[in-house]
Amino acid sequence: MKKEKVKIIVLISLFLIILVVGGILLKENFIYMIKYWGALLIVGIISFPMTSLIFNKFDDKGWAFSKVLGLAIPAVILWNLSYLKILKFTQINCYIIIGIIAIINLIILIAKKDKFKSIKQNLVNIATVEILFLLAFTIWTYIRSFVPFINSATEHFMNYGIINKLMNAEYLPIEDIWLSGNSINYYYFGQYISAFLSKISTVGVQETYNLMLALLAAFIFVLPYSIGKTLGNTFLNYNENKEKVPKFIPTIIALITALSISLGGTTYYIMHRLILNDDTYFYADVYDYIGTNPETQDKGIIAFPAYMNVEGDLHAHHLDTMFAFTMLALLLQYMLSNNDEGKVKKYLNLNIIIIGILLGIQTMTNYWDLPIYLVIATIVITVKNFIKYKKPKEKILVTLLHLIEIILLQTIVTFLFSRKLYISATQVHFTNIMSPLNKLAVLWLVPFICIFIEIFAQLFNFFKEKKGSIFQYISKMNLSDVYIIILGLCAIGLVILPEIIYLKDIYSDEYKRANTMFKLVFNAVTLFNICMSYILIKYSCKKMPKFNKICILVLLTIFLTTFGYGVNAINYATENFSAENYDLKSNAEGYIKENLPDDYEAIQWIKQNIDRNSVILETPGDSYTTDSRISVFTANPTVLGWYAHEWIWRAKLDYSVPDDVDERWNVIYKLYQSNDKEKIQYFINKYNISYIYIGNIEFKEFKQMELDTLLSLGEVVYKKTENYELNPVYIVKVK
């Protein structure tokens, strides 16, 4: 008991130290971070009674995941109510739904009070996870303070624009800011979660963008930590050969799992940064490594959580990481669960219900993750039930019912959203070119070896025993080992699959399978790192021949060395934490303020004086440019934004450009460069244009602009001409 008190005192001290140091380092940003953390702490506490019932095999009772579920479940309820036009997406309605969830959890707490008495024994583990979460959140908020600006190099503009529109929306689905008059055709639940958290924490959209990036990075550390700790505890408690395993091993597995996913890269980093000592090495080079250095006719794309942590893009696959880890934790809990109590729990249990709801949330966050995690869930549930139940009919019946429940719940959760969503990438094609084998080896040889070590070790033990069938042997295995083998084989499949097939989209020739590889490999890296952390530490603890032990330690050393990828990337992005780059206010709009100052001033005026639903005409432009910046930063819809993005979201069945997108592009060019007022007025009425924006980008894009004609269309409500380094800025309120 004294040891527990000492631990609690130490944890409280660490908590206070983090707050004090965080306050000193973050300064004004600290207030925003504390608001975010406080909101998450509250929703985590509220959902903990339910979460602790589900994650009874986790020594923190699922505390790490209570924040995710506490945020996601009320958010998805309000999401669907808003789609039905029953409740508006307002701050007060967010609080009302959270309050209802709190009441439900209070009822659970009262009804199951006997089961919660043992929670006191887990307080140290719960507090440890919370300290790690706060520490990771503080560190990443500090890192984002050195690179707070969003720019047009990636999809920052797109994601910021969606969140901005959500912050000002009454009902869902939101209008597409880049195709006025149409609802958005994109899986944007992750951006919605960002807006939901922004509302309940009372943090503005300018600050929430960077805070959400820091929060994701914190989740990408602490959620894998909890998974790794549970795997380690299972290994510790499974006395396969009566070997003594140090009690700290689960913590080691947990920390390595967390660090490998939040900071770890691939052996590309070791090869090019350390072995070849390439002076031109850049952390983002791994992104297009498959198709470059030397150039190939196949531009595959590689990405993983550590890369996204630094890149700073709130894209769908990055936002879904918190749900993906929660799904993997739910499946681990399912694998480790004991026999169900009674027939009702056998066929309908809380774990399965949450898996179904979460799969629906993943679908609306990143549609690519639906097939990926449905396959993983199917395999885990099938294997577990075939181990758990003795009668063949029972194995099949329980498995089928669980999978039907999951698919049914996923369908219910996504029904309203799916009615408005059109997915163009549905055709499966065979690849006619593969990635170079040497590059595949650089990226994937080490994880492949680790997975096969586990598989061959289990096969060796099976043939050594010579008792019963392979299925009987699997039923006696450590369930963590079974779970790891499933994840490992799924990861290998995700790497191999884009070498065989790809989903057709608007990209062709060199880039035809880039998107498929991107989305599949992103998840593969996550699964590989969980597996390698467990396998390498597990075999490091086992007695084995000296040569085998050396091989394991070499693989472990290589694996740990890849963590340098994240450190190198962070140092590059922050210029080694140069004080000159530190921005006290983590304001995402700093980039446009610095690079497009006249537009920035006009944007602030628009926010104060123009209704957010009014259509403002501006330059459409190509993707990854500063074009369409007015719609992004004001949340006012425009006639057409980034052309290629609208193309990929709404492509025809033959993947050609939608007629409406092409028509709008041509109309905008005619409108800015025509002196035919009658024709211009026709287009203004057709697209319900309220304002025309004329700035430096418009002057450069429309070489034959009819300025006098445009200014005569209505009232010039905003005018700035004093900055002679740039062109004038006009906002015309048309009749």
pLDDT, tens digit, 9 for 90 and up, residues 616-649: 999 998 888 888 999 999 999 999 999 988 998 8
Better-scored residue on pLDDT, 359 or 205: 359
Q: What is the pLDDT at residue 343?
A: 63
Q: Above pLDDT 90, what percent of the chain?
A: 57
With vertex at residue 45, the alpha carbon angle to CA 40 and CA 50, rounded to the nearest 5 degrees, is 115
Reading across the β-sheet that carries 729-734, which strands appear in turn? 615-617, 689-694, 729-734, 714-720
**Under a CB-based contact definition with an 8 Å cutoff, are residues 194 and 101 in contact?**
no
Largest CA distance in the chain: 90
Least confident residue range of 78-82, 335-339, 554-558: 335-339
Q: What is the pLDDT at residue 641?
A: 92
The CA distance from 335 to 230, in Å, is 12
Better-scored residue on pLDDT, 408 or 656: 408
The CA distance from 181 to 341, in Å, is 53
At residue 37, the 3 state secondary structure works out as: helix
Better-scored residue on pLDDT, 331 or 508: 331
Q: Is the pLDDT of residue 447 over 70?
A: yes
Tokens at residue 217, please?
């990075």
Q: Is the pLDDT of residue 585 over 70?
A: no
Q: What is the mean pLDDT of residues 462-468?
A: 78
Residue among 207, 161, 186 at smallest CA distance from 628: 161
At residue 621, the 3 state secondary structure works out as: coil
Q: What is the mean pLDDT of residues 468-486?
A: 87
Distances (CA, A) of 238 to 478, 480, 548, 570: 6, 9, 22, 39
pLDDT band at residue 153 under the 50/70/90 scheme: confident
Q: Is the pLDDT of residue 140 over 80?
A: yes
At residue 615, the 3 state secondary structure works out as: strand
Distances (CA, A) of 577 to 25, 51, 140: 12, 38, 12
Residues contacting residue 465 through CB under 8 Å, at least 6 positions apart: 473
Residue among 369, 362, 333 at smallest CA distance from 349: 333
Q: Is the pLDDT of residue 582 over 70?
A: no
Q: Is the pLDDT of residue 334 over 60?
A: yes
Q: What is the pLDDT at residue 339?
A: 58
Q: Scan for tokens 């209802």, then name that residue.
A: 100
Better-scored residue on pLDDT, 717 or 291: 717
Length of the chain as a residue count:
735
**Under a CB-based contact definition with an 8 Å cutoff, are residues 56 and 211 in contact?**
no
Across the chain, mean pLDDT equals 89
Q: What is the pLDDT at residue 631?
A: 94
Q: Above pLDDT 70, what percent of the chain?
A: 96
Q: What is the mean pLDDT of residues 555-581?
A: 88
Better-scored residue on pLDDT, 198 or 239: 198
| Terminal-to-terminal C-alpha distance of the chain | 77
Buried b (16+ CB within 10 A) or exposed e, 44-77: bebbbbbbbbbbebbbbbbbbbbbbbbbbbbbbb
Q: What is the pLDDT at residue 466?
A: 73
Least confident residue range of 4-8, 316-320, 411-415: 4-8
pLDDT band at residue 584 under the 50/70/90 scheme: very low
**Under a CB-based contact definition with an 8 Å cutoff, are residues 343 and 397 in contact?**
no
Q: What is the pLDDT at residue 9?
A: 82
Least confident residue range of 176-190, 551-565, 687-701, 708-722: 708-722
Residue among 501, 417, 434, 184 at smallest CA distance from 290: 434
Question: Domains in the chain, ordered, with CATH?
Answer: 2-572 (no CATH), 590-734 (3.40.50)
Better-scored residue on pLDDT, 23 or 376: 376
Element holding 729 (H helix, E strand):
strand 729-734
Better-scored residue on pLDDT, 713 or 591: 713
Q: Is the pLDDT of residue 554 over 90?
A: yes
Q: What is the pLDDT at residue 581?
A: 59
Q: What is the mean pLDDT of residues 150-175?
A: 89
